[in-house]
């Protein structure tokens, strides 16, 4: 069994609740969405990179293990487009695993949920221009979040915001998470300002407003892409 993987590398996690952890990133090729803020546009190409076997991926990962290694990050693109390959890979490893997903494929996610330890679900906003039917996408994202939490997966949501993002929109997402996620007591929302941060020079007040509105509903953190500040992958 093979899948196209654009890169495998070791770095420091620069986003979300595993911020600062040393991870091995497996970036799968291809994506079913078309977000206008995507910072790895080459990964949208389903045949970008190397057509890699499961055995080869084992070897690639083992070469990158370091003393400070924490976990593997399955990212993309959208990794759940490769769910059968991922399941085969995860069946024979003994490392903790984070999946970074757009949450649009809950039925595929269900196939590997037993092998996942952490999950980052990237909730899209209408302004991200990801799909033509945003309401349907949100339904699928919420279904994915419920599935992960029901299975006891350490899950958080990520929301990329622009200086132009409306505070009411962020509040709406936070309220939907509280209304639709059955057990949201430990669910966090990561507000991620779109890079580069120079775009926020005159809009820092918006970040406080996003945080305050979200905080009316659930735990919220504002975290930029630290790896870009450090100028690492």
> What would the pLDDT profile of 43-66 be if each residue is shown by its tens digit?
888 999 999 999 999 999 999 999
Can you give the pLDDT at residue 96?
Answer: 98
Q: Are 24 and 65 in contact (CB under 8 A)?
A: yes
**Average pLDDT, consecutive stretches of 10 residues, N- to C-terminus, the chain (233 residues):** 96 97 98 88 89 98 98 97 98 96 98 98 90 92 98 97 96 97 94 93 94 97 94 88
Domains and CATH numbers, the chain: 2-229 (3.20.20.70)
Q: Quick count: other Cβ atoms within 10 Å of Cβ 1?
A: 12
Can you give the pLDDT at residue 22?
Answer: 98
Can you give the pLDDT at residue 233?
Answer: 84
Stretch (H or E) spanning 53: strand 50-53
């Amino acid at each position: 069994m093979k899948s196209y993987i654009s890169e495998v590398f070791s770095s420091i996690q620069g986003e979300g609740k595993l911020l600062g952890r040393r991870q091995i990133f497996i970036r799968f090729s291809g994506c079913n969405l078309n977000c206008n803020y995507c910072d790895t546009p080459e990964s949208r190409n389903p045949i970008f990179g190397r057509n890699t076997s499961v055995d080869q991926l084992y070897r690639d990962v083992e070469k990158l293990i370091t003393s400070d290694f924490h976990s593997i990050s399955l990212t993309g693109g959208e990794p759940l487009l490769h769910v059968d390959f991922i399941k085969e890979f995860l069946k024979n490893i003994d490392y903790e695993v984070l999946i970074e997903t757009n949450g649009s494929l809950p039925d595929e996610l269900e196939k590997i949920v037993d092998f996942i330890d952490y999950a980052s679900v990237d909730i899209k906003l209408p302004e991200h221009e990801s799909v033509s039917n945003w309401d349907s996408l949100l339904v699928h994202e919420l279904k994915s979040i419920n599935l992960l939490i029901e299975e006891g997966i350490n899950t958080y949501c990520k929301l990329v915001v622009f200086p132009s993002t409306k505070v009411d929109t962020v509040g709406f997402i936070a309220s939907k998470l509280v209304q639709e996620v059955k057990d949201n007591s430990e669910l966090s929302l990561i507000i991620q300002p779109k890079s580069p941060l120079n775009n926020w020079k005159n809009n820092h007040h918006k970040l406080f407003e996003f945080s305050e509105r979200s905080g009316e509903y659930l735990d919220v953190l504002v975290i930029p892409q630290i790896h870009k500040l450090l100028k690492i992958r």
